[in-house]
Structure 1
Amino acid sequence: MSLAERLHANETIITAWSGVPDALTVEILAGQGFDAVTLDMQHGGHNEDSVLRSLAPVLRANKHAIVRVPVGRFDMASRALDFGAEAVIAPMVNSVEDAQRFAAAMKYPPLGERSWGPTFAAPRAGSKDPVKWLRESNARTVSFAMVETHAAVAALDGILSTPGIDGIFVGPGDFSIAWSKGETINGTLEGMMETVAAIAKRTRAAGKHAAIYVTDPKIAGRFVEMGFQLLATGSEHQLISAGAAGLLADLRKSLG
């Protein structure tokens, strides 16, 4: 099943988060138990070349391929899809105009303005019928607009009603900065949880998908109860740190 189909079926999808721009590292990450791998171009080190090369091992591992583009790089959203990504996350979508520009890059006419050219995507998906690919692409690709500011929350209804926007992705780190007026960075800040839950509820009520970055795995279940379906976590830094800590603890315990 495609990512879009699984989200429509209300499955909970867990995606790893890759910031290391190396296809071999991504191949190892894709071999783990995550449902998907997200390549981060905003704060991670991924660039156009690493996205092009790193999507291949993700797709070979039969994992869903997601890309977060840099702020305002809606042109890269189209390129990520042409490289083989199923979904794109666009950060700092703070207005209906931002949402419209993002949607236009994600969807083929008449819904959007995406240019034709799935040079890598179609072969990587095993598609040999360009007309079928064209007709199915708008439904298959998933556009997540990030909500992480007060302006985005104020514009949420307009963003949700923008044709071509498939979901909302909450960035809890930036949201906590906005919520606390720049005094703290805390993705689990209790004071903002009611608003975070309201975002998920409004998103699902609009028939769209809700996603969030999980900074503390212990509260993942709480996010699912709110209505979030796509949970992002597990960067290379986190996984290496956790794995090394566990391994060394066992080793030192054995040594007495």
Structure 2
Amino acid sequence: MSAAEIDGFADRIRQHRGGMISAWIGIPDATLANHLAQEAFDTVVLDMQHGMWDMPSAANAVAQVRLAGKPALARIPVGDFASASRLLDAGASGIIAPMINSAEDAQAFVKSTKYPPLGERSWGPSLALNHTGLSADDYLKNANALTVAIAMIETRAALEAIDGILGVAGIDGIFIGPSDLSIALSNGDQVAPNAAEIDSAMQHAVSRCRAHGKFACAFAGDGERAGELLKFGFDLVIAGAETAQLRSGARRAINAARRIASA
């Protein structure tokens, strides 16, 4: 797969060309990222907010995912916009920013992820140039289109400000965090990412994205829920974290061995 095809991710998601499914990795191991990228995921997300990635390990994982022929995204820690630009320099195709609660938060996010005239991203994309094969001039001209800035909607304030957030030039799409959103909407009473109230909020978010001509992404705890969210109209969904998939696979193998041995 060519660099142009890999970086076609941004164009594909903006044009809503088929629901995409992504891996989600918090364990800071670039080899693990490469292994999951061999599967039929459309992209791989490195979770730096709740996962254990640091910048060197994340940059290595971006390279390993690219080596496998897939684009890599990264979720930064809350407010860590300096890391956002560094991850783009390392060759990430997009950044997910948590806790974007207002248009002002969205503008600060864009400032670090887009070159002028949209933002003020500083120049230094040495690894991105290597991964894309573009000249410096061509990368500068195309980087804003080749990479995506994704604002997370996961609080009551963010849901109320969704139109303002989507209206910020340089915000390419949103990502719904249903667990945090359920905590917020229940006033801290429960973690219920699959509740009917969350379904309604997510469908509302998709409709607002369509009205603004932008894309919608969401986290799902497993493949079944991911399929439901694709039916809601989400453009990209997570089909569970790697830790859950690892333990589920181990559990199936153990149970199968016990069952056959005792038969």
Q: Percent identity?
A: 43
Alignment-derived partner of residue 123 in structure 1: 130
Distance 1:9 1:157 in 2: 19
Matched, 1:100 2:107: yes
Shift of 1:221: 2.9
Scaled by the length of structure 1, what TM-score is found? 0.96
Alignment-derived partner of residue 146 in structure 1: 152
Match of 1:231 among 232, 237, 242: 237
Do the aligned partners of residues 159 and 59 (structure 1) sit closer, same or farther apart at CA in structure 2, a change above 3 Å counting?
A: same
> When the two structures are aligned, how many residues end up with a matched partner?
255
Matched, 1:190 2:218: no
Do the aligned partners of residues 242 and 91 (structure 1) sit closer, same or farther apart at CA in structure 2, a change above 3 Å counting?
A: same
Shift of 1:180: 1.0
Query: Does the 8 A contact of 1:188 with 1:215 survive in 2?
Result: no
Alignment-derived partner of residue 41 in structure 2: 34
Q: Which runs of 5+ in 2 are unaligned?
A: none
Shift of 1:191: 2.2
Which moves more between the two structures, 97-106 or 219-228?
219-228
Matched, 1:49 2:56: yes
Shift of 1:32: 2.3
1:184-223 to 2 correspondences below 5 Å: 184-223=190-229
Alignment-derived partner of residue 11 in structure 1: 18
Which moves more between the two structures, 175-184 or 20-29?
20-29
Shift of 1:18: 0.6
Matched, 1:163 2:169: yes
Shift of 1:151: 0.6
Shift of 1:12: 1.2
Distance 1:150 1:194 in 2: 13
Shift of 1:173: 0.5
Shift of 1:254: 2.1
Matched, 1:77 2:87: no
Task: List 4+ stretches of structure 1 deviating above 4 A.
Answer: none
Name the amino acid aligned to 1:209.
Answer: F
Distance 1:235 1:144 in 2: 19
Do the aligned partners of residues 222 and 24 (structure 1) sit closer, same or farther apart at CA in structure 2, a change above 3 Å counting?
A: closer
Shift of 1:9: 4.3
Distance 2:90 2:248 in 1: 31
Which moves more between the two structures, 83-92 or 242-251?
242-251
Name the amino acid aligned to 2:183.
Answer: I
Name the amino acid aligned to 1:241.
Answer: R
Query: Does the 8 A contact of 2:23 with 2:241 survive in 1?
Result: yes
Alignment-derived partner of residue 118 in structure 2: 111
Scaled by the length of structure 2, what TM-score is found? 0.93
- DSSP-derived class of the 1:120 partner: helix
